[in-house]
Amino acid sequence: MGNDALTTERGRHTYEEITSQPEVWAQTLTEAHQKLDEVRAFLAQGMDDALFIGCGSTYYLALAAASLLQRLAGWRARGLPSSELWFYPEAVLGPARRPLLVAVSRSGTTTETLRAMEAFKAHGGSDVAVVTCYPDTPMAQVAQVVLSAPAAQEKSIAQTRSFASMYVLTQVLAGLAAGDDAYLAQLDRLPDAGRALLDNYSDLAERLGSDLGIDRAFFLGSGIYYGLACETMLKMKEMSLTYAEAFHFLEFRHGPKSMVNESTLVIGMVSDSAREHEVAVLREMRGLGARVLAIAEEGTAEELGGADFVVTLNSGLPETARGVLYLPLLQLMAYHRSMAKELDPDRPRNLDLVVHL
Amino acid sequence: MGNDALTTERGRHTYEEITSQPEVWAQTLTEAHQKLDEVRAFLAQGMDDALFIGCGSTYYLALAAASLLQRLAGWRARGLPSSELWFYPEAVLGPARRPLLVAVSRSGTTTETLRAMEAFKAHGGSDVAVVTCYPDTPMAQVAQVVLSAPAAQEKSIAQTRSFASMYVLTQVLAGLAAGDDAYLAQLDRLPDAGRALLDNYSDLAERLGSDLGIDRAFFLGSGIYYGLACETMLKMKEMSLTYAEAFHFLEFRHGPKSMVNESTLVIGMVSDSAREHEVAVLREMRGLGARVLAIAEEGTAEELGGADFVVTLNSGLPETARGVLYLPLLQLMAYHRSMAKELDPDRPRNLDLVVHL
């Protein structure tokens, strides 16, 4: 089979991009290691305030990264859609504050993010970092610091390894901001842990993804995992056109749980810090008839709310370091659901590779 | 018909609570006027940083209020679920910052919000304001300032007039923080404008709500309207068990629009500031087959993206003052959809009046 045939095989790119992640994370970390001194020097200006922006997947990455930076380094950080900074720069920035702007863009060419960067500079902002898969774009050229993951570039529209690899880059950024060398060293264990997960649980991802008795999926995560829950939700939606939503764990009780029924799958990204309360939500949703998939560092089905399906990460890493491990199996589940519905995960309905306005 | 009969009539409370809003807003503003000096003195301590918390509807209110305070007064403000502050106080607050905490709770008894307030105090926070419908709860008693809307108390589970009235209270708070007396005076025009809207468009709300050819609804809003889009989305979901989601306008293009089909209703809360770009999204969604309802201060269907349905507010108020006007008709639409589906909007499936853990 020649390359031309490969590129037209349904779902081929997405599958390859998801399953190649552990190697791509390793390459991304190797590349990032070469920039540690440069980024450290940049951060040594004494910043403690950051605004992460992005669109779609990278907006969710902005949420996840801001939360992680705040948690690890004590910075004040928030994630926003690029359009919010573009449309309302005064309201976002305030009269006197000029945070470090971290613009996240797979392509480096997303119009809204470029406009937001211009608005930031027009309102007196100067410090800009870019996280991207393409280090040579105009977006990267206006940044003081560029963290890039060229090995993670993709042919598919839905971001999978690009999201995960850019998230790893923001982990490096947060570790540097915190001055936490032990944390940075822990990240090197992610590729092996990711490989083990794909080895052990790909069958489960295929089984759940192929189960068309499920017709709605809810992704729950708190704290630093909320943005990751949003992103895996978006994958399910984009690739498989499935009713999918993401919530902070306890928020799900305040209204949204009304949508739970017998054909519901609830996916819980269980943390360590709030585990007891998160597991209580999973148990309650099971009581309402949902099937439950719990992903946690460790634990039995009974310890995880009576979950129907359990993925244990067994990474040995603290919750702040292991976030990216929650992604690949859920991306794979979305891929298999897309295939089972006879859609093409490489080319989701209505969507374009990059949104240019 | 005696009172007992009334209280068991399906949807009776919700309908009465939605349609009584203009009068209840007026009572709420009258009550708030009596506290202006007290709140002004409290704010005169020189704060410029706020954290709004809530659960479910009041989390969405926290988002809306934080954005408004930031826009009007230049404060740095953010809205978060109460559980995030409860679980991760160090990450939310940072090592040195103690913002004004604004806890929003209809009942004043929500467990997560009480726990979050305790966490805030345990981490050195002292300045607390409460926005509620019940001014005499334990939650209110630990606050320095209480803004309350007792006239907005409800029998229904889904918040409608309580949400809107508490939002008006946060408008008062933001106006005071900005020292903007003209803005505060503008708020007094909201009840009349709300009454006119209900008079002019209740039929449209009933027609759209009763149209069961619609099976998914997307609520779009940017800037200060995003939290309001979230809340009207939640109403649709809770009352009518309909697939409903909320997005920032331009975010909808980055993935979620893949869910648009011929049975989709897209509801756009059009602003003035970003109107051109918001209208472009509505036009695109119409091109993908959705029906579109545009709500804007003014404009024709053609000027509003070729919208199928148009509500013009004609309030004469700036976008920062008129936000609450976007709510009643969408609440009413959710009510009618619930009735058309033979559900009871007063008693949504799976939900409780207050979530006590």
Lowest mean pLDDT across A265-269, B90-94, B129-133: B90-94
Task: Please report residues of A whose CB lies closer than 8 A to that of B62.
Answer: none
Phi and psi of A265, rounded to 5°? -110, 125
In sequence order, which ranges of A74-219 are alpha helices (DSSP H)? Answer: 82-87, 89-93, 111-122, 138-141, 161-178, 181-187, 190-209
Position B46 scores a pLDDT of 85
> Is the domain of B266 the same as that of B289?
yes
Rounding to the nearest 10 degrees, give the CA dihedral for residues A52, A55, A57, A58.
-30
Residue B354 lies in a domain: no
What does the block give as tokens for B5?
A: 């009969």
Q: Residue A347 class from Cβ within 10 Å (0-12 exposed, 13-18 middle, 19+ buried)?
A: middle
Phi and psi of B147, rounded to 5°? -110, 120
Angle between helical axes of A161-178 and A21-33 (0-180°, round to 10): 40
How far apart, in whole angstroms, are the C-alpha atoms of residue A227 and residue A133? 19
Cβ–Cβ under 8 Å, residues B231 and B215? no
Residue B276 makes CB contacts below 8 A (sequence gap 6+) with: none
**Distance (Å) from the C-alpha of residue A44 to the closest C-alpha of chain B?**
18
Residue A38, number of CB atoms within 10 A of its CB = 13
How far apart, in whole angstroms, are the C-alpha atoms of residue B59 and residue B64? 9
Task: Please report residues of A whose CB lies closer than 8 A to that of B349.
Answer: 258
Per-residue pLDDT reduced to its tens digit, A12-50: 999 999 999 999 999 999 999 999 999 999 999 888 899
- Does A81 sit within 8 Å of B71, measured CB to CB? no
Q: Residue B101 belongs to what H/E stretch?
A: strand B100-105
In whole angstroms, what separates CA A280 from the centre of its chain?
25
E strands present in A251-326 = 264-269, 291-296, 309-312
ipTM of the complex: 0.95
CATH assignment of the domain containing A234? 3.40.50.10490
Q: What is the mean pLDDT of residues B233-251?
A: 97
| Residue A127 identity (one-letter amino acid) | D
B292 by DSSP, 3-state: which?
strand
pLDDT above 50: residue B5? no
Cβ–Cβ under 8 Å, residues B75 and A94? yes
> Is the domain of B157 the same as that of B29?
yes
**Distance (Å) from the C-alpha of residue A53 to the closest C-alpha of chain B?**
12
Cβ–Cβ under 8 Å, residues A50 and A176? no
> Is the domain of B206 the same as that of B332?
yes
Q: Give chain A's residues under pLDDT 50.
A: 1-7
Q: B341: closest CA among B241, B231, B217, B246? A: B241
Per-residue pLDDT reduced to its tens digit, B289-340: 999 999 999 999 999 999 999 999 999 999 999 999 999 999 999 999 999 9
How far apart, in whole angstroms, are the C-alpha atoms of residue A282 and residue B283? 40
In whole angstroms, what separates CA B283 from the centre of its chain?
25
Q: In what order do the strands lie in the sheet with A264-269?
A: A243-247, A216-220, A264-269, A291-296, A309-312
Position A3 scores a pLDDT of 43
> Is the domain of A175 the same as that of A28?
yes
User: Residue B48: which pLDDT band, with cuts at 50, 70 and 90?
Assistant: confident
User: Residue B39: which pLDDT band, with cuts at 50, 70 and 90?
Assistant: very high
Phi and psi of A289, rounded to 5°? 110, -5
- Does A259 sit within 8 Å of B241, measured CB to CB? yes
How far apart, in whole angstroms, are the C-alpha atoms of residue B220 and residue B257? 11
> Is the domain of A137 the same as that of A222?
no
Q: Residue B116 belongs to what H/E stretch?
A: helix B111-122
Per-residue pLDDT reduced to its tens digit, B258-293: 999 999 999 999 999 999 999 999 999 999 999 999
> Is the domain of A47 the same as that of A72?
yes
> Is the domain of B38 the same as that of B150?
yes
How far apart, in whole angstroms, are the C-alpha atoms of residue A155 and residue A158? 9
Residue B356 lies in a domain: no
Residue B353 lies in a domain: no
Tell whether the torsion through CA atoms of A91, B176, B270 and B164 is positive or negative: positive
User: What is the residue range of A293's domain?
Assistant: 190-340
By DSSP bridging, strand A49-54 and strand B100-105 are: unpaired
> Is the domain of B98 the same as that of B245?
no
- Does B83 sit within 8 Å of A250, measured CB to CB? yes
Nearest CA in chain A to B60: A251
> Is the domain of B182 the same as that of B209?
no
Cβ–Cβ under 8 Å, residues A65 and A170? yes
Q: In what order do the strands lie in the sheet with B76-81?
A: B76-81, B49-54, B100-105, B128-132, B145-148
**Distance (Å) from the C-alpha of residue B315 to the closest C-alpha of chain A?**
22
Vertex B54, ends B52 and B59: CA angle to 5°? 90
How far apart, in whole angstroms, are the C-alpha atoms of residue A357 and residue B274? 14
Residue A100 lies in a domain: yes
Nearest CA in chain A to B78: A78
A128 by DSSP, 3-state: which?
strand
E strands present in chain B = 49-54, 76-81, 100-105, 128-132, 145-148, 216-220, 243-247, 264-269, 291-296, 309-312
Residue B135 makes CB contacts below 8 A (sequence gap 6+) with: B108, B146, B148, B150
Given A187, A211, A244, which residue is the final one in a domain? A187
> Is the domain of B154 the same as that of B260?
no
List the single residue in A57, A237, A250 with the smallest CB-CB distance to B259: A237
Residue B65 lies in a domain: yes
Residues belonging to chain B: 357
Q: How many domains does chain B have?
A: 2
> Is the domain of B176 the same as that of B231?
no
Residue A310 lies in a domain: yes
**Distance (Å) from the C-alpha of residue A2 to the closest C-alpha of chain B?**
31
Residue B347 lies in a domain: no
B110: left (phi over 0), alpha (psi -120 to 50) or beta: beta
Position B105 scores a pLDDT of 97
Q: A198: closest CA among A295, A110, A79, A329? A: A329
Residue B242 lies in a domain: yes
Task: Please report residues of B whose CB lies closer than 8 A to that of A95.
Answer: 74
Per-residue pLDDT reduced to its tens digit, B165-205: 999 999 999 999 999 999 999 999 999 999 999 999 999 99
HSE, CB side, 13 Å, CA atoms: give it for residue A267.
28
> Is the domain of B153 the same as that of B31?
yes
Nearest CA in chain A to B237: A256
Nearest CA in chain A to B86: A274
